[in-house]
Chain A
Amino acid sequence: MTDPVPALQAHRLSAAYHQQPVLEEITLSLPQGQWTAIVGPNGAGKSSLLNLVIGSLAPLRGDLRILGQSPAAQRRAGNIAYMAQQEHMEWDFPISVRDTVLTGRYGLMRHDPLWQRLVPRRWANPSHRQAVEAALEAVDMADYAARPIGELSGGQKKRVMLARALAQQARILLLDEPLAGVDPPSEKLILATLERERRAGRTIIMVTHDMPSARVHADNVLLINRTLVGMGAPDEMLSDAMLARLAVGAPEPARGGARVAA
Chain B
Amino acid sequence: MTTLFTILFDGVAYGMLLFVLACGLAVTLGLMNFVNLAHGAFAMTGGYICAVLVNNQGWPFFSALPLAFVVSALIGVALERTLYRHLYTRSHLDQVLFTIGLTFMSVAAVDYIMGSSRIFIKLPAALEGQFDFFGVGIGRYRLMIIVICGLLTVALQLILAKTRFGSRLRAAVDDPRAASGLGINVPQVFAFTFAFGCGLAGLGGALSAEILGLDPYFPLKFMIYFLIVVTVGGSSSITGPFLASLLLGIGDVAGKYYVPKMGPFVIYTIMIVILIWRPNGLFGRAAAR
Asked whether A and B interact, the reply is: no
Partner-B contacts on A (CB < 8 A) = none
Partner-A contacts on B (CB < 8 A) = none
